[in-house]
């Protein structure tokens, strides 16, 4: 839409007490509410709402309700995307997910950074920084990914992590703050026995 309010990236702007942004957020929250009221098995209606809500959506996308975001159109989701219950994305800036991304329950991706100075914060100033998640990434339950973070391809983020800085590709990372623990290796293929029964 041509009339969408432009949000500056990486600098303080008046995000709170801003009628134009509040109207955009209200519109988005109405769509999220409709999505969350559907039967969790009504995939067709879910896909229709997501296609209208998100900026770009690939094939085989499923977001388990409830799901909340602020604008929706700043979110890009690749193919074969799955998130479990209670995904929250505060998308003042772009949030881009690659293909084959899996997100466990109760995860939050937030592009907002509020002013540290109390007078600026009380005036409603904040900054927005983009988030990028690569291909074939697994985000563990209860993880929070903060503004300006990128996560590389094939990486696993352990449950309960708070990701404050970029995480490279092909690693296992976890913690508060999240840090790289080790690389993903061929041995990970044999971590669990493969069930061969019917």
> Which residues are within 8 A (CB) of 191 and not within 5 positions of it... i.e. 6 or more apart?
none
pLDDT band at residue 1, thresholds of 50, 70 and 90? very low
Q: CA 9, CA 130: separation in Å to the nearest integer?
A: 8
Secondary structure E strands in 5-101: 13-14, 56-57, 61-63, 67-69, 75-77, 81-83, 87-90, 95-97
Q: How does residue 3 score in pLDDT terms, banded at 50, 70 and 90?
A: low
Examine residue 5 and state whether it is found in any structural domain, yes or no: no
The answer as to whether 191 is a domain residue is no
Residue that wins the pLDDT comparison between 4 and 49:
49
Contact 49, 65 (CB under 8 A): no
In a domain, 4, yes or no: no
95 within some domain: yes
Gap between the Cα atoms of 105 and 109, Å rounded: 12
> What are the residues whose beta carbons fall under 8 Å from the beta carbon of 57, sequence distance 6 or more?
50, 51, 76, 77
Digit-coded pLDDT (tens) for 139-184: 999 999 999 999 999 999 999 999 999 999 999 999 999 999 999 9
pLDDT given for residue 197 in this prediction: 84
Tally: H helices and E strands in the chain = 3, 20
Domain hosting residue 74, numbered range:
13-183
Specify if 49 maps to a domain.
Answer: yes
CATH no. for residue 148?
Answer: 2.160.10.10
Whether 114 is catalytic is yes
In a domain, 58, yes or no: yes
Cα-only R_g, the chain: 18
- pTM here is 0.94
Mean pLDDT of 108-114: 96
Q: Which of 74, 80, 100, 114 is catalytic?
A: 114
Q: Is residue 75 part of a domain?
A: yes
Give the total number of structural domains in the chain. Answer: 1
Is residue 198 in a domain?
Answer: no
């Amino acid at each position: 839409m041509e009339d969408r309010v432009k949000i500056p990236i990486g600098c303080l702007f008046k995000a709170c007490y801003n009628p134009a942004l509040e109207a955009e957020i209200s519109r988005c929250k109405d769509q999220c509410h409709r999505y969350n009221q559907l039967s969790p098995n009504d995939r067709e209606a879910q896909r229709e709402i997501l296609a209208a809500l998100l900026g770009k959506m690939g094939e085989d996308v499923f977001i388990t309700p409830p799901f909340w975001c602020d604008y929706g159109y700043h979110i890009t989701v690749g193919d074969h995307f799955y998130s479990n219950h209670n995904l929250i994305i505060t998308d003042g800036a772009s949030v881009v997910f690659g293909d084959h991304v899996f997100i466990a329950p109760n995860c939050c991706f937030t592009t907002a950074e509020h002013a540290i100075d109390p007078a600026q914060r009380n005036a409603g100033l904040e900054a927005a920084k983009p988030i990028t998640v690569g291909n074939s990434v697994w985000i563990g339950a209860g993880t929070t990914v903060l503004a300006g973070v990128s996560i590389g391809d094939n990486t696993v983020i352990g449950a309960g992590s708070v990701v404050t800085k970029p995480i490279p590709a092909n690693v296992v990372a976890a913690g508060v703050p999240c840090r790289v623990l080790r690389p993903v290796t061929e041995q990970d293929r044999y971590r669990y026995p493969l069930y061969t029964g019917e």
